[in-house]
Amino acid sequence: MERLCDEILQLIFYELTDPSPITQVSRRFQGFSQDPYVRAHYFLVHYGPIEAMYNALGRGKVLNDRVLDILLTSGAHLSRYLIQIAIHHYFYTQAHFIKTQWVRNVPLRVFAYFLKLAEEKYGEIPRGKGEDDGSLFTTFLKENRLSTAMKTVTWEVVRTLLDTYNFIPFCNRDPIMSQFPLALAIEPRLLPYAVKNGFSMDYKYRDFVFRKMFERPPVSSETRAEDIADNVRELCNLDSAMFVSRTVAAEICMEAKVNEIGYAALKELDKSGHLRFELSTLVEDLLMTFLTTRSISSVSTGDILLHLFSDFPSTDVSVRLVILVVVFIAAENLHMTHTALRAKLEALNVGPIKRRDVVNILINPFVECYNAVINFARQEVSMGDDGPKGLSPQEIDAIVEEVAGRCLEIACKGKLLKIMAEGFPHLKQCLTQLVLQKYQIKIDEVPSWEDEGSDCEAYVAKLCRDFLRFGVGEVHTLESLQPEDIKLDAPDLKCSVSSNNEAPLRTLKDTFVQGDKDASELGEISQESLSTMIRHDEVTPVRSRRRIMYSYGISDAAGKYRYPQDSLHVGKWIKACFGPRSSVTAIFMTHAVINDNCSILHHYLMANDDSTYQLNNNVSTHVPVTLKHFQLLAALGRTPNFYMWQHIEIGAEFFFDEKDYLNSEVKVEPTHSAISSEASIRPVISSNRNKKRPRRTATTTVRSYAVPDSDEEDKQCFQAGKQQDKNPRETNLQLWIKHLGILLKMETRKHNLIKKCLEKAAAPDTKVRIQKNDFVKSLNTNLRTLRKLEAEIHHSVPFVEEYDNDQNDDEYMLKRTKRRRSNV
């Protein structure tokens, strides 16, 4: 360091936030830091010309007359506003945003010299309360919505502040810094004077400026659309970086009906060519975003969408579907006749309505009633252009069956399925056949974690998806949106309109448009209105202060959800309609286990939302967990859901798969595996009081869940576990422990075999480490818990006497175990 030249040492000083410690290293460094030129240029280089004087006044001990002279002659910006605030702060005459000592650390002699320089530069300086330039500027902003006659501070006064007295916020903590761009929105002619003083427009302020320019004027205001358009043109001409972004334009469109002046100014700019994009294309993109968001079902939002579509008609198939959904949701709410509905569709020029349109409308996630659509189809929809209007009952039934089949995979469509099943009784049988034929999952059909190239993490079952977390999945394809007489030959042109966390893709004519990149550079569009975003800009803090929470009404985050409000999950309706122990519900249970749908598993397994219920008394209210569910998760290497383990702990019956309880006519004997919350065991009384106990057979059906290609040791392990699975002395908990233990041994053996293969392929003396998958880790931990629970039950459950099988259940008597006496 001592050998460094002064130029290098000076650069090091400029990069330090506080150079004081380095000045104590040596006498050379201390003497170097005493140089006025080094001190002055430290503030200029480290903080910039705008904030150099402000930060120099905060270091009163290093400030002297010579440093002040060098600062001013080297380009440090000194405004009259900074001088006024410094005077107020030094003499304690007015509280300001500065809460530190700041200029009060400056010696009186140096501060007097600073005032002498200020007087030479600006002459007499106003020093009274409310007379500083910042107060005048703030008053100008507050009066911007008043008429010209009522304003006390005109724009000419503000122009003088900027031009003559070099007004500009002198630091980032100044509250005026966040309000300064607002002046440019009110008077674009101030921009050249602000740029001269060193102001640079940040992109984050650009949208704020144009939002204020298009803000809805008060009723008493004389502002016209031409005035707003002229101000925008003038501001854009003064600075090439200033332009109306797609973000702001979309926000203006979202309040087209309430802010007619701003919307008219936007359309005028579009006609004159002063927008960097086509307004019709923007409206088209904006309308498409509503196909998968809840706001499409809002009445006020629907009116805005219809208004925009009337001004900018589009042939885009996604936009057309948005309009159809809006119209039929409104028709359902207003109970419109098919005549009025037909007139509305003709006025929008979105007809004729075909069979495919009826299906696409009904499968939309936010259409929860079918009456308006089906009634219109019965009278107005035709299968062909030349055919008679109105669909036959058979054609209506076919549509209903198709829609119901599609809704099975759209998890939030439970309400529509419920009312359709009530209106069309034959639908239940159709859904049963469809589910059994299409959605059954076998163990060998799922990808295995041990196979190379298998994507187990991405595997998703088609039913029972958790739409609250992952969306409702694929709803439309481009091919399904096209008219029935148009076929897509090129498979590469297909795209999907999904109701997940992504916006729908553009349609066929715009799929490969090169202008998509330019559109993103012009700003992303949202569904927020202009007024909402202006309020958001005003309450967003610019300094580190507490964020103000604000509600934005119907266009807030709830309006952007991808599922309807108060929706009914299809899986919940399936259980209510088909019962907990039906083949259809069993398939939905399997899909819910694979998808780890906590909501459905809680509904299926924890009856009455009570985790401490006695399973013996509610055997018909839950969907059983089977060993097959664990085998599927073992193949995928996934963690079993918490509710599955809890269900076993509270006494779940043991079944190999759903066939055990679907085909079984004899119920399993209740067990004592459930523990009451009071840590006391109640006597178990059979529910079949007036029936004889069924005789148990000595032999049971041999069941196997061995995977193909397993070695002989695995097979022997399985054969040992298959014998006498229904031993009357084994409780359900013991059966679960035994078979899950066998499954754990199998999965551990697979892991060890893979490890051995990798060790053989690896270089000598190389230690191979393989992480066990999530299923093995979870099974290992929870089996330990189950064994501990079984041990506690084994020592605390009362002994049950053996009685003749011909006796009734009421004659059974329980012997209570002797309680251990504890010494006090």
Q: Over the stretch 473-524, which tens digit does the pLDDT of each residue have? A: 667 665 656 665 544 443 333 344 455 444 443 433 343 233 444 556 788 8
Joined tokens for residue 650 = 């509270």
- Structural contact between residues 552 and 255, judged by C-beta atoms closer than 8 angstroms: no
Q: Where do runs of H (alpha helix) occur along 19-92?
A: 20-23, 27-33, 36-57, 65-73, 80-90
What does the pLDDT average to over 563-588?
89
719 or 241, which is more confident: 241
* pLDDT per residue as tens digits for the range 732-756: 888 998 999 998 888 888 888 877 8
Pair (463, 600) in one structural domain: no
Residue 77 is predicted with a pLDDT of 92
**How far apart are the C-alpha atoms of 287 and 102, rounded to whole Å?**
53
Evaluate whether residue 723 is within a structural domain: yes
User: What is the per-residue pLDDT for 483?
Assistant: 61
Do the Cβ atoms of 57 and 65 come closer than 8 Å? no
Q: Which of 463, 488, 512 is the last residue of a domain?
A: 512
Cα dist. 189→168, 177, 413, 787 in Å? 16, 18, 56, 80
Give the lowest-confidence range in 27-41, 72-86, 225-239, 671-685.
671-685
Lowest mean pLDDT among 17-26, 273-282, 655-664: 17-26
Nearest to 612 by CA among 655, 649, 667, 575: 649
What pLDDT, on a 0 to 100 scale, did the predictor assign at position 428?
Answer: 92
User: What is the pLDDT, as a whole number, of residue 663?
Assistant: 67
Identify the pLDDT of residue 119.
Answer: 93
User: Structure tokens of 23?
Assistant: 């000045």
117-126: average pLDDT = 92
Copy the structure tokens of residue 158.
Answer: 């503000």
Burial of 538: CB neighbours in 10 Å, binned 0-12, 13-18, 19+: middle
CB neighbours of 771 closer than 8 A, spacing ≥ 6? Answer: none
Residues 591 and 477 in one domain: no
Q: Are residues 494 and 593 in the same domain?
A: no
Most confident of 419-428, 455-464, 471-480, 483-492: 419-428
The b/e string for 219-228 (b: 16+ C-beta within 10 A; e otherwise) is eeeebebeeb
pLDDT at 801 exceeding the cut of 60: no
Q: What is the mean pLDDT of the chain?
A: 77
pLDDT on residue 551: 40
CB 596 within 8 A of CB 641: yes
What confidence category does residue 607 fall into, taking pLDDT thresholds of 50, 70 and 90?
low
Q: Are residues 297 and 428 in the same domain?
A: yes
Q: What is the pLDDT of residue 417?
A: 92
**Over residues 578-587, mean pLDDT:** 91
Q: What is the DSSP letter of 122?
A: H
DSSP assignment, residue 298? Answer: -
Are residues 474 and 611 located together in one domain of the fold?
Answer: no
Residue 269's pLDDT is what? 92
What span, in angstroms and rounded, lies between the C-alpha atoms of 89 and 171?
15
Rounded to 5 degrees, what are φ and ψ at 512? -115, 35
Structure confidence at residue 805 as a pLDDT band (50, 70, 90): very low
Cross-strand bridge partners of residue 474:
498
pTM (2 d.p.): 0.72
How large is the average pLDDT for residues 408-430? 91
Q: Indicate the pLDDT class of residue 237, thresholds 50, 70 and 90.
A: confident
Structural domain contains residue 80: no
State yes or no: pLDDT of 614 exceeds 50: no
Percent of the chain residues topping a pLDDT of 90: 25
437 and 329 part of one domain: yes
Give backbone dihedrals phi and psi of 627, rounded to 5 degrees, phi first: -65, -25
- At residue 810's C-alpha, the angle toward residues 789 and 816, to 5°, is 40
What DSSP line would sit under 448-508, residue for residue?
PTTSTT--TTT---SSS--HHHH-S-EEEEHHHHS-TT-----GGG--EEESSSSPPPP-G
What was the pLDDT predicted at 808?
36
**CA–CA gap between residue 159 and residue 164 (Å, rounded):** 8
pLDDT in tens, 320-334: 999 999 999 998 888
Exposed, middle or buried: residue 509 (CB in 10 Å: 0-12, 13-18, 19+)? exposed
Rounded to an integer, the average pLDDT of 60-67 is 89
> What gap in Å lies between CA 533 and CA 552, rounded to an integer?
9
Residues 6+ apart with CB under 8 A from 672: 681, 684, 731, 793, 797, 798, 800
Give the mean model confidence (pLDDT) for residues 421-443: 92
Contact of 411 with 599, CB cutoff 8 Å: no
Same domain, 304 and 429: yes
Domain shared by 386 and 492, yes or no: yes
**Could you tell me if 463 and 570 are in contact, meaning their C-beta atoms sit under 8 angstroms apart?**
yes
On whether residue 449 sits in a domain, the answer given is yes
Q: What is the pLDDT of residue 70?
A: 92
Examine the pLDDT at 695 and tell me if it is beyond 50.
no
Cα gap 653→734, rounded to integer Å:
10
How many domains is the chain built from? Answer: 2
Task: Give which of 510, 11, 111 is closest to 282, Cα–Cα.
Answer: 510
Under 8 Å between Cβ of 480 and 275: no
Residue type, 96: H
In a domain, 256, yes or no: no
Q: How far apart are CA 768 and CA 763, in angstroms?
A: 10
Mean pLDDT of 347-352: 87
Instruction: Answer whether 550's CB lies under 8 Å from 529's CB.
Output: no
Domain containing residue 487: 291-512
- pLDDT confidence of 686, banded at 50, 70, 90? very low
Helix, strand and coil percent figures for the chain, each rounded to 5: 55, 0, 45
| Assigned domain for 347 exists | yes
Among 57-66, 334-343, 470-479, 716-725, the least confident range: 716-725
- Asked whether residue 297 carries a pLDDT value surpassing 90, the answer given is no
Domain edge (last residue) among 512, 545, 569: 512
In a domain, 564, yes or no: no
What would the two tokens of residue 396 be? Answer: 């209506």
- Upstream peptide bond of 352 is cis (omega within 30 degrees of 0): yes
Residue among 602, 645, 642, 639 nearest 733 (CA): 645
Q: 582: which DSSP letter?
A: S
Regarding whether 596 and 495 lie in a shared domain, the answer is: no
Residue 411 has pLDDT above 80, yes or no: yes
Same domain for 480 and 333: yes
Encode pLDDT of 666-675 as tens digits. 343 333 333 3
Looking at the domain assignment, is residue 72 inside a domain? no
Does residue 243 sit within a domain?
Answer: no
**751/667 same-domain check:** yes
| pLDDT digits 0-9 by tens, 65-104 | 999 999 999 999 999 999 999 999 999 887 778 888 899 9
Is 626 in the same domain as 508? no
Phi, psi of 479, deg, nearest 5? -65, -35
More confidently predicted of 418 and 816: 418
Nearest-angstrom CA–CA distance, 799 and 605:
29
Domain end position, chosen among 512, 543, 567: 512
pLDDT of residue 16: 76
Confidence band, pLDDT 50/70/90 cuts, at residue 449? confident
Neighbours of 625 (CB within 10 A): 25
